[in-house]
Structure 1
Amino acid sequence: MLEGGDIIISADNKQIRQYDELEGIVTAMQPGEEITLEFIRDGQRQQATLTVLPYGQRKPTGHPR
């Protein structure tokens, strides 16, 4: 799961320098497809594989609002 402050550096092994690049990759995908993101959190390089949801839908996080 991504957190606020994470810096995304690649998506499916494609370097991300600006938000528009990530947005273009994700919007070209279909709901249910998976994308692997590499990101920096607290100075550590990490990876997460996420499933694309239909536009506007968010997966519940289990955190109270």
Structure 2
Amino acid sequence: MCQRCNVALEDLGEYNFRTGGATGVGGMLLGGWNQLAEGKVTFDLKICPSCRHVDFYLRS
């Protein structure tokens, strides 16, 4: 339930976010090797159809 509107949240599905790795020139120089330093965090996303607020739930 949306804490703002008291409306049931709709499921947007699972989303993966990349974390870490080098940015800028360092990332360009490393090329594909830069991906070795990256991690991935997965969230389930839910949205309120009324106020459009999005909630992130960390997947374990």
If the TM-score is normalised by the length of the shorter chain, which range does it land in?
A: 0.3 to 0.5
Larger Rg, first or second structure (1 or 2) = 2
Which of the two has greater helix per residue?
A: 2
**TM-score normalised by structure 1 residue count:** 0.32
Q: Which of structures 1 and 2 has the larger relative contact order (alpha carbons within 8 angstroms, sep 6+)?
A: 2
